[in-house]
Structure 1
Amino acid sequence: MALPKDPRQKMINIMYLVLTAMLALNVSAEILNAFNIVNNSINTSNNSLTDKNNLIYAQFAEQMKDNAAKVAPLKAKAEEVKKLSADMYNYVETLKNLIITESGGKDDKGELKGQSDLDAPTRVMENMKKGPELEGKLVALRNQLLGFVEPKNKDKFAKTLPLKIEVGKSSNDHGGGPKTWTTYHFNMVPTIAAVTILGKFQNDIKNSESAIIDDLYRQIDAQNFKFDKIRPFISLNSKNLMAGQTLTAQIAVGAYSSTVNPTIVVNGTPVNAVEGLGTYSIPVSGIGERTISGTITLPNPTGGDPISQHFEETYNVGASTTSISADKMNVLYIGLQNPISISAAGVPAESVSASISGGNISKRGAGEYTVTVSQPGKAVINVVANVDGKVKTLGQKEFRVKRVPDPVLKVGFNKGGNMKAADFKVQQGLGAVLEDFEFEGVKYEVVGYRIGVSAKGKEYQEGEANSAYFPGSIAASVRSLRPGDEVYFENVKVKGPDGIVRTMPSTIFKLN
Structure 2
Amino acid sequence: MAGGKETPRQKLIGMMYLVLTALLALQVSSAVLEKFAIIHATLDELIVDGNIKNQTTFNNIIEEAGKSQNPKVLKAKENAGKVRELTKTTLASIDNLKAEMLKASGTDKIDDNFINNHGSKVATMMIDPRSPHGVGFEKLLNDYVAQISSLCPEEKFEKLTKSPEEIDMFKGNDKHANKDFRTFMFENTPPIAALASVTQIQTEVLEYESKALSRLAADANVGTIRFDKFVPMVLPKSSTVVAGTKYEAEMFITGAASAVTPEFYRDGTKLANATSASGIPIGKVEFVASGGGYDKSTGLAKKSFKADIKLADTTFSSTIEYFVAEPIIKVTTGNAPRLYMNCGNAVTFEVSGLGPAFNPTFSSTGSEIQKGNKPGIVTIIPSQRKFAVNVANGGAGLGSVNFEAKPIPRPRVIAKDASGRDIDPKQGIRANSPQIKVNAEAEANFKEEVPKDANFRIRQMNVYLVRGGTAVGTLPNYSSEIIDLKGLGALRPGDVISIEPKTIVRRTFKGGDETVPTNTSDMVQILVK
Same-fold call, TM > 0.5?
A: no
TM-score, structure 2 as length reference? 0.36
TM-score, structure 1 as length reference? 0.38
